[in-house]
Amino acid sequence: MSEYQQIQQKYLKQAWERGIDVLEEALPAKCEGNCLHFKAFGEDCEFCPQEIKLSGQIPSGPEGVLTALYAIHAQNKPSPDAPAAIL
């Protein structure tokens, strides 16, 4: 396991502590089984409690760490700094 993957595992655990319902709404993602599916880095991402896969491959570089960090910090409400929608 690479150093990136070790860090990724730590952040992955923290992300899943938020709960699947919160993650599904915040990412946003589609729940299938015990994994969430969404796009990350232009690839299909399978975000599971034990691992992250991008296009079916476990990332060995920083992409997995960044994906897990995103899941930890993604909010399920709009940022107050986000521009208002144009109606």
List the chain domain ranges. 3-73
pLDDT tens for each residue of 25-56: 999 999 999 999 999 999 999 999 999 999 99
Instruction: Provide the pLDDT confidence category of residue 81 given band limits of 50, 70 and 90.
Output: low
The pTM (predicted TM-score) of the whole model is 0.84
Instruction: Provide the pLDDT confidence category of residue 22 given band limits of 50, 70 and 90.
Output: very high
Residue 32 burial class via C-beta count within 10 angstroms: exposed 0-12, middle 13-18, buried 19 and up: exposed
Residue 68 burial class via C-beta count within 10 angstroms: exposed 0-12, middle 13-18, buried 19 and up: buried
How many angstroms separate the Cα of 55 from the Cα of each of 43, 47, 81, 86? 6, 11, 32, 34
Mean pLDDT across the chain: 90
pLDDT at position 87: 44
What is the spatial distance between Cα 67 and Cα 58, in angstroms, rounded to a whole number? Answer: 12
In the block, residue with structure tokens 């994994």: 35
